[in-house]
Each structure stands twice: as structure tokens, then as C-alpha cells.
Amino acid sequence: MVKIYITRHGQNEDNAQGILNGHRDLPLTVLGEAQARKLANEIRKVGFVFDTVYTSPLSRASRTAEVICEALDLNRPVVLDSLIERNFGIMTGKRIADIEKLCAPDIIKTDIITYFLSPEGAETFPDLLKRARRVLRQIQEQHSSGTILLSTHGDFGKMLYAAYYRLHWREILTKFHFGNCELLLLAEGISLDASRVVRIEQHNH
């Protein structure tokens, strides 16, 4: 059976400015590059070897994947368009601090993130979960064995986790925070703590 790891990209310029990026495509910050290198070093320490690295087409994810591949002497990452972040609709480019003002009561609040559920033009979490299931089916059909890394985004990464472990999308939003350059393992029969393979202290909303 194929073993799948997922990571979220390093900090990018929108993250640093508190802006909701969605499909906006600004590059990693200096800190984001450092986070990617730190993740690569942690992967090297534990001895993981990836047969294929797939990445979202957005530069914050693809650059994170490139840093990892370069550091570990792996083949270049393969762009998989369906790993792209959630379309934020009219919330794209808005300030994170304004989510509650603009979207309440149609929100879910956690200690770290306030999630908007269905502003105009945005992908809903049920839609995102369906896309995540399609991605996992595609990976499992193309790879009967081996170890795969997916470089993706916060909201979509959580839906990949929910799809794999057959969790409700609402449950996963409040279950844990998926920080920049954290590494999650998707494998049957393990706990949440065990699935969080690499954690990076610094994170962005």
C-alpha cells in the first residue's frame, strides 16, 4: 500500500501580511524558505525517502517542494493542479482580521483560525472534501506502493486528512492546526499525534 505524507507550504508574503491568499500567488518570504529547509532537514534526520513529490501549482507550495527535493536529492516535484488551495471567492485578498466582521455568523472559530464557510464564489468545505477524495483516489490508482509527498495548503491539507481518515469536515477544522511546513502522515491505524510527524514552532493563520 502506498504511504502518503502531506505538508503545508512555508510562510509566503500574504501570510506575513495577514492577507487571505487562496489562489493569489505571492512567493515565500525569507522565513518561508527557512521553514522549508528546516522541514527538509527534519525529513533527512528521520530517513524518509519519497518516490514521488507532488505539488500544488501555486508558487508557495511548489517552491517548498523544490527546496525539499533539492535538499534530499530527489527528482523535481510533479505539479498536480488539484492540490491547489481552496478558492476563497470574494474573501481572496481580504484581511484575516476581518473574517468575522465580513462572514459571521457563517464561520467556525478555533483558538488560532476563524474559518469562513460559504462567502460568494468560494469553494465550500464539502466541495473541498470531494476534491480531496478525488486526489487520494488518483494517487492510490497511480501508486500501488511506495512513499509519496504532497505539498499543498492549509485548508486543502486538512480536507485531505479528513478524506483519508473518513472524518467530517467540521470535525477536522477544530481538531488541530496545520502549520506552515508541518508534515502529516496518512496511514491506517495511527493516532493524530502519531500522524503529525514534523511540527514547526512558528505558524501562520
Q: How many CA atoms lie within 13 A of 55 on its CB side?
A: 21
Catalytic residue (choose from 66, 85, 123, 182): 85
Q: Which residues of 76-98 are buried (b: 16+ CB within 10 A; e: fewer)?
A: ebebbeebbbbbbbebbebebee
Please indicate whether residue 13 is annotated as part of the active site. no
Please indicate whether residue 85 is annotated as part of the active site. yes
Which H or E element spans position 163?
helix 154-165
- Going by DSSP bridges, is the β-strand pair 52-55/147-152 parallel, antiparallel, or unpaired? parallel
* Side chain identity, residue 184: L
Q: Which residues are catalytic?
A: 9, 85
